[in-house]
């Protein structure tokens, strides 16, 4: 065991870190093993001393991954670190840094994921995480925040590595069988509806999505039954509420298309399974409709893959009974689906799959144009008749008189009834005691002009007096 170094200043520590990466014989595995373990312990011992934040951790990890002895012996370095992580009594700081190096390595070189998987990284990380979950379940809030922070960060890093493997690799049937209900249930219970930037919460949520993806793949590839532990926990409904809120939060804000597809798949699975079809609240369903309308509207013409995924999710979503009554966003949905089905399109021709999926949604009964049923027509007729009868009753109850004349002979026109819209209103007026008749026509004057006075013959004027001569 080498003597532990004590550094007076941070500069001394960082200088020693760089010098520790020099390996005299990088081709000899024993020398590489010694250099790797020495470096891991050096950094681990000084976490929260000189390695205080993610930037310091990244600096140490990148220096190791880019070192000569690590690049020359990647498989050995990966296998060595996985063997260290399988040790139950490993110092938590070393566990954190070693996990961080593996995560940095696979993100820096995606081919390293296969190397990790070949050395049973999935099972090693699963057991390590399960042990951490058991520790978290027993901890109280009075635990030292420094040590608790190390555990949370270690857990976050290992969750991220497992997510990367589930995202890009095909996990074997035997390894998926390792996952138990406690593991999944703890993640569901510990999820909190927080900001998207909460990396610990996001890492747990993303692993749930990726594991569900692996269970779905295994169900298609293997003839023997494999229980989807994720869906089984959802079916219990006891821990689903926080997950559903996280689901909506990430679905609404996520820009990673791959993650959006994973979210869409688990939503589709929930809707199409009898035990989980009704676990979402009504408002949650409305939010999903809003998000899908927005995403389908904003997709470019070339994004057929994600468009088809969204349309496949939209169909079982719109089949929920609440929409048959609320008709939520009906106009927007009909307009969008009509466009995607290619009806009347001249500038863009959707693919056959897009047309089929959009047309399937359009055929839902509550998205059809409203037609007047027999009951609706009878109701309209009844209301119309009531309005007409009210108008007739008002007219009959008013004072009705025959035309008369003033002292000067002017005719007073009778009051007019409201305009009659229907023939059957004459039957109601037949009950009146007298039929209202229009006034007689006014005679015309000799000069053919109309006059308001009745015509009277006048006597001729007297003849002028005759003129006689005197």
How confident is the prediction for the chain on average, in pLDDT?
A: 81
Pairing state of beta strands 411-412 and 404-405? antiparallel
Which of 172-176, 292-296, 395-399 has the lowest average pLDDT? 395-399
Residues 138, 148: Cα–Cα separation, whole Å: 12
Residue 41 tokens read as: 């312990």
Judged against a pLDDT cut of 90, whether residue 463 lies above it is answered with no
Residues 40, 96: Cα–Cα separation, whole Å: 10
**Domain span holding position 85:** 1-120
Q: Give me the mean pLDDT over the 28-57 stretch.
A: 94
* Closest of 311, 216, 196, 200 to residue 256, by C-alpha: 196
Residue 37 lies in a domain: yes
In angstroms, what CA-CA distances link 231 with 122, 172, 173, 398, 424? Answer: 21, 19, 17, 75, 66
* Closest of 150, 202, 155 to residue 183, by C-alpha: 155
Judged against a pLDDT cut of 60, whether residue 53 lies above it is answered with yes
Which of 15-19, 62-66, 345-349, 422-426 has the lowest average pLDDT? 422-426
Q: Is residue 39 within 8 Å of 22, Cβ to Cβ?
A: no
Judged against a pLDDT cut of 50, whether residue 452 lies above it is answered with no
Which of 20-24, 78-82, 214-218, 384-388 has the lowest average pLDDT? 384-388
Query: Three-class SS string for 175-237?
Result: HHHHCCHHHHHHHHHHCCCCCCCCHHHHHHHHHHHHHHHHHHHHHHHCCCCCCCHHHHHHHHC
Residues 92, 80: Cα–Cα separation, whole Å: 17
Q: Which residue has the tokens 């040590």?
A: 147
Under DSSP, is residue 6 helix (H, G, I), strand (E, B) or coil? coil
The pLDDT tens digits for 239-286 are 778 888 889 888 988 678 889 999 999 999 999 988 888 888 899 999
Judged against a pLDDT cut of 60, whether residue 337 lies above it is answered with yes
Residue 38 tokens read as: 């020495």
Q: Is residue 97 within 8 Å of 61, Cβ to Cβ?
A: yes
Residue 10 lies in a domain: yes
Q: Give me the mean pLDDT over the 25-40 stretch.
A: 91
256 HSE (CA, 13 A, CB side):
8
What separation, in Å, do the N-terminal and C-terminal C-alpha atoms of the chain show? 179
Residues 383, 375: Cα–Cα separation, whole Å: 12
Judged against a pLDDT cut of 90, whether residue 395 lies above it is answered with no
Residue 262 tokens read as: 């994973």
Residue 19 lies in a domain: yes
How much is the pLDDT for 310?
A: 96
CA angle 427, 428, 429 (to 5 degrees): 90
Judged against a pLDDT cut of 70, whether residue 216 lies above it is answered with yes
Residues 254, 246: Cα–Cα separation, whole Å: 11
How much is the pLDDT for 238?
A: 72
How much is the pLDDT for 413?
A: 44
- Looking at the structure of the chain, the number of domains it has is 1
Judged against a pLDDT cut of 50, whether residue 412 lies above it is answered with no
Residues 411, 407: Cα–Cα separation, whole Å: 10
Torsion of CA 172, 178, 182, 185, to 10 degrees: 0
The pLDDT tens digits for 277-317 are 888 889 999 999 999 999 999 998 889 999 999 999 999 99
Residue 23 lies in a domain: yes
Residue 95 lies in a domain: yes
Percent of the chain with pLDDT over 70: 74
* Closest of 19, 40, 23, 22 to residue 31, by C-alpha: 23
Please list the residues that pair with 51 across neighbouring strands: 47
The pLDDT tens digits for 129-164 are 999 999 988 875 555 566 788 999 999 999 999 999
Residues 233, 270: Cα–Cα separation, whole Å: 11
DSSP 459: P
In angstroms, what CA-CA distances link 419 with 168, 178, 388, 396? Answer: 78, 84, 10, 13
Residues 252, 244: Cα–Cα separation, whole Å: 12
């Amino acid at each position: 065991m080498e003597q532990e170094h004590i550094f007076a200043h941070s500069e001394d520590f960082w200088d020693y870190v760089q010098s520790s990466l020099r390996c005299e014989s990088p081709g000899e595995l024993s020398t590489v093993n010694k250099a790797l373990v020495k470096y891991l312990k050096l950094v681990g011992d000084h976490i929260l001393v000189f390695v205080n934040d993610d930037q310091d951790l990244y600096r140490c990890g990148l220096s190791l991954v880019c070192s000569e002895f690590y690049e020359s012996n990647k498989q050995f370095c990966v296998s060595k670190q996985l063997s260290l992580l399988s040790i139950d009594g490993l110092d938590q700081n070393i566990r954190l840094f070693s996990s961080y190096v593996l995560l940095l390595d696979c993100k820096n070189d995606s081919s390293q994921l296969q190397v990790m998987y070949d050395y049973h990284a999935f099972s090693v990380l699963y057991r390590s995480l399960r042990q951490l979950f058991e520790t978290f379940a027993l901890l109280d809030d009075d635990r030292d925040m420094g040590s608790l922070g190390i555990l949370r960060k270690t857990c976050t890093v290992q969750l991220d590595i497992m997510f990367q493997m589930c995202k890009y690799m095909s996990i074997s049937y035997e390894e998926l069988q390792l996952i138990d209900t406690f593991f999944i249930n703890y993640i569901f219970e510990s999820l909190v509806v927080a900001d998207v930037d909460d990396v610990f919460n996001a890492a747990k949520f993303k692993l749930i999505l990726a594991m569900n993806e692996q269970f779905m793949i295994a169900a298609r590839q293997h003839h023997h039954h494999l229980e989807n532990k994720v869906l089984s926990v959802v079916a219990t409904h006891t821990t689903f509420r926080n997950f559903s809120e996280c689901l909506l939060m990430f679905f609404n804000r996520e820009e990673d298309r791959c993650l959006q597809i994973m979210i869409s798949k688990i939503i589709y699975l929930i809707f199409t399974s009898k035990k989980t079809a009704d676990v979402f609240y009504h408002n949650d369903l409305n939010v999903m409709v809003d998000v899908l309308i927005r995403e389908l509207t904003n997709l470019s013409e070339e994004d057929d893959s994600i468009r088809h995924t969204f349309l496949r999710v939209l169909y079982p979503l719109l089949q929920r009974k609440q929409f048959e009554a609320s008709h939520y966003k009906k106009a927007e949905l009909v307009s969008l689906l009509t466009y995607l089905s290619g009806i009347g399109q001249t500038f863009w021709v959707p693919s056959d799959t897009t047309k089929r999926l959009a047309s399937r949604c359009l055929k839902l009964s509550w998205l059809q144009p409203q037609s007047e049923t027999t009951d609706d027509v009878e109701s309209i007729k009844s209301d119309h008749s009531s309005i007409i009868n009210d108008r007739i009753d008002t007219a009959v109850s008013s004072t009705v008189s025959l035309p008369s004349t003033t002292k000067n002979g002017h005719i007073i026109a009778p009051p007019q009834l409201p305009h009659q819209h229907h023939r059957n209103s004459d039957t109601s007026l037949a009950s009146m005691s007298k039929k209202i008749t229009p006034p007689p026509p006014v005679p015309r004057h000799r000069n053919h002009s109309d006059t308001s006075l009745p015509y009277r013959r006048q006597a001729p004027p007297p003849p002028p007096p005759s003129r006689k001569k005197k």
